[in-house]
C-alpha cells in the first residue's frame, strides 16, 4: 500500500475544495452577507489542512494501483464532507455539526435529503454552496482534478473507476486525462445549456444556477420549501428534460459528438431506460388522473416525478404521499433501479438490472437444459463470468447494506414506511422517501446516531459500496499492491 500517495492525493482534494469555496464566497460578497466570514474561515482551514497533508506525505513513488484508487476515493470523499460542512457550522445557519455533516454528505453524494424544515433566514451564499456540492459531486471532484492536472497518468484510471458510478467504466480515449476532460466538458456544456433555458423562463441567474446544479448532479436541493411546485410549467418541463439527459450514460454524448450515431443508439441500456420512462409515466398518469385538472397537468406532474425519482434527483412538484398505492409502488421501484451507468444518477443502475435479469434467465434455462452453454450478452457483446459474478456480488451487498441500515435506525419513533424509504432513498441517493420523510418533509426528526448511519449509507451508495468498505479493512493497508 502506497500510504503516502493516498494521503497526498487526499490533501490535494482538500486544497481543491478550498478553491471551490471561492464561488459561494463571491456570491456572499455580492449579496453583502455575513456568511462570507464563514467561507473565509473555512477556506483558510482547508488550505492549512490540505497543504500540511501535501507537504508531510509527499511521496517519492507516485504509482497508483487499484487498491490505492479505491482508498483515495473513499478518504477524499470523507474529508471533503468534513471540511465542506464547516461553512454551515461557522455561519451558525446549521449550528449542529452532525446536522451540517449530514447536509454536506447529502450534497456531495447528490442525495438531496435534508434536515432543514424551513429555508427562512438562510443566506444566498450558504444555499449556493449547498447546491454547488451537488454539481461537484455529480461527476466527482477527483475526475475534475484528473481533467485539469498535467500529472494524471494511465494509473489514474483506478481512481476514475472507483469514483464514476456504474458497473463498467472505461476510457473514452486512450489517455485518462483526456477521458476526464471530455466527461467534464460534456457536463459543463449541459449545465450551461440548462442555466440558459431556465433563465429564459424568468428565473434569476442565481435561481437558474441553483436548479441547474441540482439537475446536473441529480441532487435535488432547492431554495423553496415546496421544491418546484410553485414554478411555471415551462420551468418544470425544462428540468424534466434535463433530468432525462443527465441520467443518460455520458458515453452516448461522446459517441454523438464523434458522429458515431449507430453506436450511440445501439445501447441496450439506453432503450431500456427510455422504455422504463414511457411505461412509468403512462402508469402513473392513469393512476393520478383524477387528482389533477386535465390531461396536460397530469402528464406534466407524472413525467416530472417519474424522472425526478428515476434519475435519483428528488425534486418534487407534488406531494406523492397523497398519490394512489399503484403510483407510489411505481416510484418505489424506480428508486431501486436508478439511472444509466456512466451518468450522474444513483441507484442500482439499469445496466446491472438488465444483466441480472439475463443471468437469472440463463440459470433457469440451464436448470431445464443442464448441458447447454448459454451466454449473457449486453449490446451484442458477451459478458464474461467475472463481470456477471461481480454484478451478482454487488447486488448481494446492495441488499445486505439496506437491511443493516434499516435495522440500525429501526428504533426511531417514525413509521415503518418512513424508515424503510429513508434507507432506500439515502442508499440510492434520491433524497425524499415516503411518510414523514416525503417530498414535503425532512430528516430533522432522526437522532444524531441515525443521521450518521444514513450519512454513511449515502456515501456507500454514491461510491458504490467498495471504496468505503476497503477503507475499513486494515489488511488492505498492509498488503503489497498489485496492478
Q: Where are the alpha helices (DSSP H) in 57-171?
A: 66-84, 86-90, 97-108, 124-139, 141-148, 157-163
pLDDT at 15: 94
Contact of 1 with 67, CB cutoff 8 Å: yes
Name the burial class of residue 256, with classes exposed (0-12), middle (13-18) and buried (19+) by CB atoms within 10 angstroms of its CB: middle
Please check the confidence at residue 127 and state whether its pLDDT lies above 60.
Answer: yes
- Average pLDDT over the chain, rounded to an integer: 88
Give the mean model confidence (pLDDT) for residues 195-214. 96
Residue closest to 308 by CA, chosen among 228, 192, 407 = 228
Give the mean model confidence (pLDDT) for residues 418-428. 95
Q: 120 in helix, strand or coil?
A: coil
**Sign of the alpha-carbon dihedral angle for 286, 288, 291, 294:** negative
**Which residue(s) pair with 381 in the sheet?**
378
Contact of 257 with 177, CB cutoff 8 Å: no
Please check the confidence at residue 274 and state whether its pLDDT lies above 90.
Answer: yes
pLDDT digits (tens, 9 = 90+) for 384-405: 788 888 888 888 999 999 999 9
Please check the confidence at residue 191 and state whether its pLDDT lies above 80.
Answer: yes
Please give the Cα distance from 483 to 75 (Å, whole number). 20
Contact of 477 with 72, CB cutoff 8 Å: no
Please give the Cα distance from 173 to 236 (Å, whole number). 36
Q: Which of 67-76, 254-263, 382-391, 414-423 has the highest mean pLDDT?
A: 414-423
Higher per-residue confidence, 477 vs 288: 288
Q: 223 in helix, strand or coil?
A: coil
pLDDT digits (tens, 9 = 90+) for 161-177: 555 555 554 445 445 66
Residues found in the chain: 483
pLDDT at 221: 93
Amino acid at each position: 500500500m502506497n500510504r503516502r500517495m493516498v494521503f497526498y492525493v487526499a490533501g490535494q482534494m482538500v486544497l481543491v475544495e478550498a478553491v471551490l469555496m471561492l464561488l459561494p464566497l463571491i456570491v456572499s460578497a455580492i449579496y453583502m452577507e455575513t456568511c462570507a466570514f464563514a467561507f473565509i474561515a473555512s477556506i483558510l482551514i482547508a488550505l492549512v489542512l490540505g497543504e500540511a497533508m501535501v507537504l508531510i506525505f509527499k511521496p517519492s513513488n507516485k504509482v497508483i494501483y487499484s487498491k490505492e484508487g479505491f482508498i483515495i476515493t473513499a478518504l477524499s470523499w470523507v474529508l471533503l464532507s468534513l471540511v465542506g460542512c464547516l461553512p454551515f457550522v461557522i455561519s451558525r445557519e446549521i449550528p449542529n455539526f452532525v446536522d451540517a455533516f449530514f447536509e454536506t454528505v447529502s450534497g456531495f453524494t447528490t442525495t438531496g435529503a435534508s434536515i432543514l424544515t424551513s429555508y427562512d433566514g438562510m443566506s444566498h451564499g450558504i444555499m449556493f454552496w449547498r447546491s454547488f456540492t451537488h454539481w461537484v459531486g455529480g461527476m466527482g471532484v477527483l475526475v475534475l482534478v484528473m481533467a485539469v492536472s498535467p500529472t494524471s497518468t494511465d494509473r489514474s484510471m483506478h481512481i476514475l473507476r472507483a469514483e464514476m458510478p456504474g458497473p463498467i467504466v472505461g476510457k473514452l480515449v486512450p489517455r485518462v486525462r483526456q477521458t476526464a476532460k471530455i466527461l467534464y466538458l460534456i457536463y459543463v456544456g449541459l449545465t450551461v445549456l440548462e442555466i440558459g433555458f431556465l433563465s429564459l423562463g424568468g428565473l434569476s441567474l442565481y435561481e437558474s444556477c441553483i436548479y441547474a446544479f441540482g439537475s446536473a448532479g441529480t441532487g435535488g436541493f432547492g431554495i423553496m420549501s415546496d421544491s418546484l411546485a410553485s414554478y411555471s410549467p415551462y420551468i418544470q418541463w425544462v428540468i424534466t428534460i434535463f433530468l432525462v439527459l443527465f441520467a443518460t450514460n455520458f458515453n452516448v454524448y461522446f459517441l454523438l459528438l464523434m458522429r458515431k450515431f449507430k453506436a450511440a443508439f445501439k445501447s441496450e441500456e439506453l432503450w431500456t431506460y427510455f422504455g422504463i420512462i414511457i411505461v412509468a409515466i403512462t402508469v402513473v398518469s392513469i393512476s393520478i388522473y383524477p387528482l389533477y385538472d386535465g390531461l396536460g397537468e397530469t402528464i406534466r406532474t407524472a413525467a416530472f416525478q417519474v424522472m425526478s425519482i428515476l434519475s435519483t434527483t428528488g425534486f418534487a412538484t407534488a406531494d406523492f404521499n397523497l398519490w394512489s398505492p399503484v403510483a407510489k409502488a411505481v416510484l418505489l421501484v424506480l428508486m431501486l433501479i436508478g439511472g444509466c451507468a456512466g451518468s450522474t444518477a444513483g441507484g442500482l443502475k439499469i445496466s446491472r438490472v438488465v444483466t441480472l435479469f439475463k443471468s437469472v434467465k440463463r440459470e433457469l434455462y440451464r436448470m431445464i437444459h443442464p448441458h447447454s452453454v448459454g451466454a449473457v450478452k449486453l449490446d451484442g457483446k458477451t459478458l464474461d463470468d467475472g463481470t456477471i459474478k461481480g454484478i451478482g456480488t454487488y447486488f448481494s451487498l446492495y441488499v445486505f447494506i439496506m437491511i443493516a441500515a434499516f435495522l440500525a435506525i429501526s428504533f426511531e419513533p417514525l413509521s415503518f414506511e418512513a424508515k424503510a424509504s429513508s434507507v432506500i432513498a439515502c442508499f440510492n441517493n434520491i433524497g425524499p422517501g415516503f411518510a414523514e420523510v416525503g417530498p414535503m418533509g425532512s430528516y430533522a426528526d432522526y437522532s444524531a446516531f441515525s443521521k450518521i448511519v444514513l450519512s454513511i449509507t449515502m456515501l456507500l451508495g454514491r461510491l458504490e459500496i467498495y471504496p468505503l468498505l476497503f477503507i475499513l479493512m486494515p489488511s488492505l493497508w498492509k498488503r503489497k499492491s498489485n496492478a
